């Protein structure tokens, strides 16, 4: 849950979910350390990172939980996403299976019932256009229907990676109690969120 | 023999050994009591107790000794019946069986057979295997049966029996243990031996047929695609009791479905009879089985390691699996016998391969003890104090390690950590690159602590090799553990523990060259010596002067039984190449197995000489010492040197062991 310490400092728990090998760790490492490894070993349990982002309106301190995609850790996921202010569900555009998996994660988060949870859908590995199995429209469409923010990303080329986290930060800043004016994005996400729960309920 | 007495190295007893310059040592006494005078080049092994190990000779490798050991032990037990079996196999048969090669059979194709329910499906497999062979193979089966004087309806000639007797093939059947040796025709002089607990002779036949099929798959197939697979010296498999592959050290386990099904058929069939297959020997291959509920583990090896060692390795592999999944995975099999477990172990190949690799270098895998990084007493105390602090705040175990060596560890009250669990945990953490990336919080299970439940491990690398593990039962404890880590890290930095750790890593631990001189003649400071010639015997071994420690001491391992810890000397010339280190490791492994053989042991001392080493082992209720010397080392001097090693270990135990706070084995 995002909490405000002082006027503009927000500490927010962010969780990344998705099938194994979709690039969750790579996204985080690109964002936190500016690194990318062609071969990134499987995450065990969950890795914890922190990163601070300064916006004009607030300073966001992210507590990032990069969860393992392996099936055996699935049942333990609530331990990591409980109390999260934002969730990034990641799939790999070269794997339809990972997209299906992402939908399951979205459903699980929705069932979990935190209406304020900011959810992003990251279509990762956008650099592998020639191997694409999941169309941009498919992702967009699904995101729209479920009130997610959609971005195509590539941890390898850094495409949209910082944008992803900045966008989350902005929304968190807007959503935080010391809200300021200019609520366009926020209100839209609220609306879509509401719609989402109507539909799923 | 107590460690106290061992420490009285300046004792005043007269040494019965005719060695010059003798001081009385317990070890020497023991050897003397075994009537070991020492003609230096005496070929046979000398051992105190009357077991098979004594029959080894200089030219024989140690495995041979162990094996004969095993057989003699078996013969020595209650022997109720004897049977002889001789199977002939031809190359053509082998090729007929080739289609069931793991590599030539697609997973989808094999899935049907492996999912055939229970052992009957497996039986079809076996039947198929036999049917696929030519008539001769059927004949073999009936032949075996005739020997076992049942099912006389399809009795062939007796000639095979006679032949078997002629060839000296042995099959022993007594009580519920069967050991059968079958000559495989196309491999001259190589036996096929099976050690099981099978009470029904008829079952033995069927099992043997299946075993031959299985072993053949590994050793005989002539399929090019699987050539490299078959060439591997040591295979490990995990499979489910429905025959689904779970893990294979080499090759894609999904492509091994047919092979898994065969293994499953063998094991399940015997299991269903209330019996158990333990070991099959085929030529120089051993097939070792371990059944753990719905999980079957199999090792196929031609490394000549003793059965006990291989079995212990399977136990550790099973433990590693539990560490990742807990025993509750069994429930998945209860719900669905055909449950496919491979996805659950996704991404853990590296954990298992690292563990299997450690079977050839890490003595902890057979000593069941852990080792500490050598550190000044005060340094280790400082580390222990802060860990204790943290443990008092609700952490179950706080463990600070550098690679596979413990810097310090603390357990909450009444919580005790088994050395095997430590080994598996350290292996898990070190082999998973993920832990180095950032701090992690992961569920793990300590199989010896509680195989059913997850603990939660906070893992953080403090530097490249040094990592802290904080274990808790609470899944919500991450932030608390993170705070603990920050406190610990601060204290460790402030008290220079981390820089001391780095220094110790560079300096290493005990070097045999530094073995202090005999305190008696040169009392005073114990200055280290680098291979300085010390005895008249040394002059006989000129090529080795300046290599290794005094008296030709090359290496030693000392295990404190009370502490559950061991210390191993650093490798130095001539044991300086990985190959030589591995060979020594295997020699120790054999030595350990022969000392702890339940049938004929345990023993107190063993002195063994072959073309590679003189190996000396001394087991008391307080410690075990394993030492390797130059093969030409003088025995009396070697024994004396061992006493000095023990004394040395005592002298520096503050630095090499974690004392006092041990939460182990109370």
Residues A49-92 have pLDDT tens digits of 999 999 988 999 999 999 999 988 888 899 899 999 999 999 99
What does the DSSP assignment read for B604-644? SEEEEE-SS-EEEEEE-SSEEEEEEE-TT--HHHHHHHHHH
| Plot region of B243 (φ>0 → left; ψ -120 to 50 → alpha; else → beta) | left
Does residue A201 surpass a pLDDT of 80? no
- The mean pLDDT value of chain B amounts to 71
Q: Which of A29, A46, A72 minimises the CB distance to B441?
A: A46
Q: Mean of the pLDDT values across residues B179-194?
A: 41
pLDDT (0 to 100) of residue B627 = 95
B66: its two tokens = 């162990």
pLDDT (0 to 100) of residue B269 = 84
Cβ of A72 within 8 Å of Cβ of B325? The answer is: yes
Q: Mean of the pLDDT values across residues B464-480?
A: 94
Q: Does A29 touch chain B (CB under 8 A)?
A: yes
Q: Does A158 touch chain B (CB under 8 A)?
A: no
pLDDT (0 to 100) of residue B128 = 31
R_g of chain B computed on alpha carbons: 27
pLDDT (tens digit, 9 = 90+) per residue, A104-162? Answer: 999 999 998 788 899 999 999 999 999 999 999 999 999 999 999 999 999 999 999 99
pLDDT (0 to 100) of residue B206 = 59
**Across A31-40, B229-238, B592-601, least confident range:** B592-601
Name which residue leads in pLDDT, A199 or B324: B324
Cβ of B439 within 8 Å of Cβ of A42? The answer is: no
Residue found under tokens 């974690």: B658
pLDDT (0 to 100) of residue B147 = 34
Name which residue leads in pLDDT, A39 or B20: A39
CA distance, residue A112 to nearest chain B CA (Å): 18
List CB contacts of A82: < 8 A, sequence separation 6 or more.
none
Domains B81-222+232-358 and B375-507 share a fold: yes
Does residue A178 surpass a pLDDT of 80? no
Task: Report the sign of the C-alpha dihedral through residues B37, B58, B1, B510, in that order.
Answer: positive
Q: Mean of the pLDDT values across residues B172-186?
A: 37
pLDDT (0 to 100) of residue B591 = 93
Does residue B493 surpass a pLDDT of 90? yes
CATH architecture of B81-222+232-358: 2-Layer Sandwich (3.30)
Q: Do the Cβ atoms of B177 and B193 come closer than 8 Å? A: no
pLDDT (tens digit, 9 = 90+) per residue, B263-291? Answer: 888 888 888 888 888 998 888 899 999 99
- For chain B, give the percent of residues with pLDDT over 70: 60
> Which CATH code for domain B375-507?
3.30.450.30
Say which DSSP state A129 is in: G
Cα separation, B231 vs B233, whole angstroms = 6
Does residue B642 surpass a pLDDT of 50? yes
Q: Which of B325, B439, B444 minimises the CB distance to A48?
A: B439
Q: Mean of the pLDDT values across residues B87-97?
A: 33
pLDDT (0 to 100) of residue B200 = 56
Cβ of B443 within 8 Å of Cβ of A45? The answer is: yes
Is the complex ipTM higher than 0.90?
no
pLDDT (0 to 100) of residue B590 = 92
pLDDT (0 to 100) of residue B256 = 79
pLDDT (0 to 100) of residue A21 = 93
Does residue B103 surpass a pLDDT of 90? no
Name which residue leads in pLDDT, A79 or B482: B482
Say which DSSP state B11 is in: B
pLDDT (0 to 100) of residue B663 = 46
Cβ of B440 within 8 Å of Cβ of A41? The answer is: no
Cβ of A70 within 8 Å of Cβ of B435? The answer is: no
Residue found under tokens 């490894």: A37
pLDDT (tens digit, 9 = 90+) per residue, B348-403? Answer: 999 999 999 999 999 999 999 999 999 999 999 999 999 999 988 889 999 999 99
Cβ of B443 within 8 Å of Cβ of A25? The answer is: no
Q: Shortest CA distance to B294 belongs to which of B326, B332, B323?
A: B332
Sketch out chain A's domains with CATH numbers. 3-200 (3.40.50.300)
Let me know the angle formed at the C-alpha of B250 by B248 and B254, rounded to the nearest 5 degrees. 50
**pTM exceeding 0.90:** no
Question: CA-nearest residue of chain A to B440?
Answer: A47
Q: Which of A28, A45, A73, A83 to mutate to test the interface with B (most CBs of B within 10 A)?
A: A45
List CB contacts of B96: < 8 A, sequence separation 6 or more.
B132, B133, B134
Q: Does A46 touch chain B (CB under 8 A)?
A: yes
Q: Do the Cβ atoms of A89 and A122 come closer than 8 Å? A: yes
pLDDT (0 to 100) of residue A105 = 95
Name which residue leads in pLDDT, B21 or A62: A62
Does residue B409 surpass a pLDDT of 50? yes
Cα separation, B137 vs B95, whole angstroms = 13
Domain boundaries, chain B: 1-37+508-666, 81-222+232-358, 375-507
Q: Mean of the pLDDT values across residues B181-190?
A: 38
Q: How far is CA B324 from CA B327, B329, B362, B451, in A?
A: 9, 10, 21, 10
pLDDT (tens digit, 9 = 90+) per residue, B530-557? Answer: 233 334 343 344 444 447 788 889 999 9
Chain A residues whose beta carbon lies within 8 Å of the beta carbon of residue B482: 48
Q: Which of B353, B441, B470, B484 to mutate to test the interface with A (most CBs of A within 10 A)?
A: B441
pLDDT (0 to 100) of residue A76 = 84
Residue found under tokens 């280290």: B528
Cβ of A45 within 8 Å of Cβ of B457? The answer is: yes
């Amino acid at each position: 849950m995002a909490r405000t310490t002082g006027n503009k400092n927000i500490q927010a728990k962010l969780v990344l979910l998705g099938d194994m090998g979709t690039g969750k760790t790579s996204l985080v490492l690109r964002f936190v350390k500016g690194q990318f490894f062609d071969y990134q070993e499987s995450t065990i349990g969950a890795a914890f990172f922190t990163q601070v982002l300064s916006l004009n309106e607030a300073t966001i301190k992210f507590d990032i939980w990069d969860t393992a995609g392996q099936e055996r850790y699935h049942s333990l996921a609530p331990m990591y996403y409980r109390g999260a202010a934002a969730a990034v569900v990641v799939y790999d555009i070269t794997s339809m299976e990972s997209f299906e998996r992402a939908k399951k994660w979205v459903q699980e988060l929705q069932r979990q019932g935190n209406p304020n949870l900011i959810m992003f859908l990251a279509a990762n590995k956008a650099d592998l256009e020639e191997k694409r199995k999941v169309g941009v429209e498919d992702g967009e469409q699904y995101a729209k229907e479920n009130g997610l923010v959609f971005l195509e990303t590539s941890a390898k080329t850094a495409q949209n990676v910082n944008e992803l986290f900045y966008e989350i930060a902005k929304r968190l800043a807007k959503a935080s109690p010391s809200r300021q004016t200019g609520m366009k994005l926020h209100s839209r996400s609220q609306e879509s969120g509401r719609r989402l729960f109507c539909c799923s309920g | 023999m107590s460690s106290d007495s061992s420490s009285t190295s300046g004792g005043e007893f007269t040494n019965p050994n005719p060695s010059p310059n003798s001081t009385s040592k317990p070890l020497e006494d023991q050897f003397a009591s075994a009537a070991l005078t020492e003609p230096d080049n005496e070929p046979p092994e000398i051992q105190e107790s009357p077991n098979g190990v004594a029959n080894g000779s200089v030219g024989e490798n140690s495995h041979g000794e162990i094996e004969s050991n095993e057989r003699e032990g078996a013969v020595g037990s209650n022997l109720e019946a004897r049977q002889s079996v001789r199977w002939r196999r031809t190359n053509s048969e082998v090729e007929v069986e080739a289609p069931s090669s793991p590599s030539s059979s697609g997973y989808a194709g094999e899935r049907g057979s492996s999912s055939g329910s229970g052992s009957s499906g497996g039986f079809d497999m076996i039947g198929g295997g036999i049917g696929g062979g030519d008539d001769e193979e059927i004949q073999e089966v009936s032949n075996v049966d005739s020997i076992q004087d049942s099912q006389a309806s399809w009795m062939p000639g007796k000639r095979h029996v006679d032949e078997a007797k002629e060839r000296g093939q042995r099959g022993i059947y007594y009580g519920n243990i069967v050991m059968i040796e079958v000559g495989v025709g196309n491999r001259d002089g190589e036996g096929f031996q099976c050690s099981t607990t099978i009470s029904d002779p008829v079952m033995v036949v069927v099992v043997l047929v299946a075993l031959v099929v299985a072993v053949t798959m590994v050793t005989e197939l002539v399929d090019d695609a699987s050539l490299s697979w078959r060439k591997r010296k040591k295979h490990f498999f995990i499979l489910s009791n429905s025959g689904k592959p779970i893990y294979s050290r080499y090759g894609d386990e999904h492509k091994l479905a047919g092979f898994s099904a065969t293994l499953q058929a063998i094991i399940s069939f015997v299991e269903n009879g209330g019996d158990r297959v333990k070991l099959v020997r085929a030529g120089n291959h051993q097939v070792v089985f371990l059944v753990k509920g719905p999980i079957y583990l199999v090792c196929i090896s031609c490394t000549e390691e003793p059965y006990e060692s291989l079995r212990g390795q399977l136990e550790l592999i099973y433990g590693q699996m539990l560490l990742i999944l807990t025993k509750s995975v069994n429930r998945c099999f209860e719900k669905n016998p055909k449950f496919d477990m491979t996805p659950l172990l996704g991404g853990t190949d590296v954990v298992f391969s690292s563990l299997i690799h450690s079977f050839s270098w890490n003595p902890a895998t057979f000593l069941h003890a852990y080792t500490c990084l050598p550190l000044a007493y005060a340094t280790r105390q400082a580390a222990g104090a802060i860990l204790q602090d943290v443990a008092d705040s609700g952490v179950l175990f706080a463990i600070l390690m550098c690679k596979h060596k413990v810097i310090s560890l603390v357990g909450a009250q009444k919580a005790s950590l088994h050395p095997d669990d430590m080994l598996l945990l350290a292996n898990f953490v070190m082999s998973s690159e993920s832990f180095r990336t950032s701090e992690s919080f992961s569920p793990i299970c300590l199989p010896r602590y509680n195989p059913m439940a997850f603990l939660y491990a906070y893992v953080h690398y403090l530097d490249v090799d040094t990592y802290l593990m904080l274990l808790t039962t609470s899944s919500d404890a991450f932030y608390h553990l993170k705070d603990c880590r920050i406190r610990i890290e601060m204290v460790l930095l402030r008290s220079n523990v981390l820089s001391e750790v780095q220094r110790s890593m560079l300096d290493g631990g005990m070097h045999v060259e530094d073995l202090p001189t005999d305190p008696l003649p040169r009392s005073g400071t114990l200055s280290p010596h680098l291979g300085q010639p010390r005895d008249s015997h040394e002059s006989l071994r000129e090529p080795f002067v300046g290599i290794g420690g005094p008296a030709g001491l090359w290496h030693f391992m000392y295990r404190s039984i009370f502490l559950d810890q061991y210390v191993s000397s650093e490798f130095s010339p001539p044991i300086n190449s990985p190959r030589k280190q591995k060979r020594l490791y295997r020699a120790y492994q054999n030595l350990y197995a022969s000392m702890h053989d339940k049938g004929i042991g345990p023993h107190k001392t063993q002195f063994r000489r072959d073309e590679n080493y003189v190996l000396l082992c001394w087991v008391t209720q307080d410690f075990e010492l394993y030492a390797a010397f130059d093969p030409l080392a003088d025995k009396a001097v070697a024994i004396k040197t061992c006493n000095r090693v023990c004394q040395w270990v005592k002298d520096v135990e503050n630095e090499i062991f974690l004392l006092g706070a041990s939460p182990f084995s109370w």
